[in-house]
Amino acid sequence: MNKVDYMEVTLPNYSYVFNFEETFSPAETQLWMRKNWTNGFYYCGIYMILIFGGQHYMSNRPKFELRGLLTIWNTMLAMFSIIGFTRTAPELIYVLRNYGFQYSICVPSYIKADCVSGFWTWMFVLSKLPELGDTIFIVLRKQRLIFLHWYHHITVLLYAWFSYTEYASTARWYVVMNYFVHSIMYSYYALKAMRYRPPKNIAMLITTLQLMQMVLGCIINIRAFQILQNGKYDCHISRINLMLGLLIYFSYFILFAKFFQNSYLNRRHGTKVEKKSYVNGTEYDKLKAN
């Protein structure tokens, strides 16, 4: 596996390939992203101004319910995530079965050789911009906005966009994991917005899956770094990307672990629910000890 000819890589047998997937051009999208990925910093700056300025604007005004819009929003994101997962997961599973774990974190054939997985990876990267809209609902509905929520949105957008500029090989895992968790997360959100009452354990499951995602993300970054240090294999990822990825995933793990403790473990030890809010797709309960 010193060098890989992407044209010789076999692909999963998709039951159907849509025209917009078949005509996907990874080279064009990479060139566009290389020219424009730094615009993400401007978008994040505007995002920060809007959410914190919006909080100030809403401080003395009645909250908006927006339940209908929230239902549509979460349903659309749930459908998008489900479709994205079903189109990218087969490639990851196929690679693991036929080429192994090391290949899966070192060779970006998921985008260079597979038009289906490549297209939905591109959609995944672009989706991080409209997903910032999650926070607008929190602000307008006057729910509690915690650091984890906006920090997660900003760093995911910037890291995903940056990783696409170099076709980071580890992103094969990140995309599939994120699509999977978001499929459950936004579906749960949509049901809550429609006034259904999913089992409370679902929220705990979502946070658990997020924690598992962060642990696996750290493991993947560490293993890819070891392969680079060994120097025997051609691992298509830069050291700066690995360092950023490990830093981001580890910070997510710490923040989600703290969130898990406050939301679920403290509740079991005699805490009282005071006010509900949301953070990145899981129900958040502001807790106050008795």
Active site residues: 152
Phi/psi of residue 288, nearest 5 degrees = -135, 125
Contact 1, 107 (CB under 8 A): yes
Give, in order, the Cα–Cα distances in Å from 14 to each of 86, 99, 114, 159, 174: 10, 18, 11, 29, 21
Query: What's the one-letter identity of residue 227?
Result: I
Which residue, 280, 169, 288, is CA-closest to 224?
A: 169
Return the half-sphere exposure (C-beta side, CA atoms, 13 A cut-off) of residue 52: 11
CA atoms of 178 and 134, how far apart (whole Å): 16
CB atoms closer than 10 angstroms to residue 219? 14
